[in-house]
Amino acid sequence: MKELLIKNGLLIDPVSGEAHADILIEGGRVSRLARSIKPPPSCEILDAAGLWIFPGFIDVHVHAREPGAEAAETLESAARSAAAGGVTSALLMPNTFPAMATAALVRKYRRRAAKLPVNFYFSAAATAGRSGKKVSGLEALKKAGAAAFTDDGSCLPRGLLSALLKKAAALRLPLMDHPEDLSRTGCGVINAGPAARRLNLPGIPQEAELLAVLADILAASSAGPIHLQHLSLASSVAALRAAKKMGWPVTGETCPHYFTLSDADIKKDDADYKMKPPLRSPADRRAVLAALADGTIDLIATDHAPHEARLKSKGFKGSPFGIIGLETLAPLCVTELLLKKIIGKKRLAELLCLNPARILGLKKKGRIAPGFDADLSILDPRLQKRVPEVFVSRSSNSPFKGRSLRGWPAATIAAGKIIFRRA
Q: Which residues are catalytic?
A: 303
Residues of this chain, 128-167, that bind Zn ion according to CB under 5 A: 152
- DSSP secondary structure of 375-422: -EEEEEEEEEEEPPSS-SSS----TTTT-EEEEEEEEEEETTEEEEE-
How far apart (Å, rounded) are the C-alpha atoms in residues 305 and 287?
A: 24
Residues of this chain, 169-208, that bind Zn ion according to CB under 5 A: 178
Closest-CA residue to 342 (of 273, 412, 280, 256)? 256
The one-character DSSP state at 278 is P
Between 321 and 364, CB nearer to Zn ion: 321
Query: Is the preceding peptide bond at 98 cis, omega within 30 degrees of 0?
Result: yes
Between 226 and 349, CB nearer to Zn ion: 226
Strands 226-228 and 175-177: parallel
How far apart (Å, rounded) are the C-alpha atoms in residues 223 and 240?
A: 16
Smallest distance from Zn ion to CB 97, Å:
16
Smallest distance from Zn ion to CB 414, Å:
26
Between 277 and 399, CB nearer to Zn ion: 277
Between 228 and 379, CB nearer to Zn ion: 228
Smallest distance from Zn ion to CB 179, Å:
9
Between 256 and 407, CB nearer to Zn ion: 256
How far apart (Å, rounded) are the C-alpha atoms in residues 364 and 358?
A: 10
Which residue in the shown chain puts its C-beta closest to Zn ion?
178
56 contacts 86 by C-beta, under 8 angstroms:
yes
Smallest distance from Zn ion to CB 178, Å:
4
Between 153 and 407, CB nearer to Zn ion: 153
- Residues contacting Zn ion: total by CB under 5 A: 2
Smallest distance from Zn ion to CB 232, Å:
11
How far apart (Å, rounded) are the C-alpha atoms in residues 147 and 327?
A: 24
Smallest distance from Zn ion to CB 305, Å:
8
Handedness of CA 142, 252, 332, 368 (dihedral sign): negative
- DSSP secondary structure of 123-163: EEESBGGG-SSSB--HHHHHHTT--EEE-TTSPPPGGGHHH
Handedness of CA 72, 76, 81, 86 (dihedral sign): positive
Judged by the rule CB under 5 A, the positions of this chain that interact with Zn ion are 152, 178
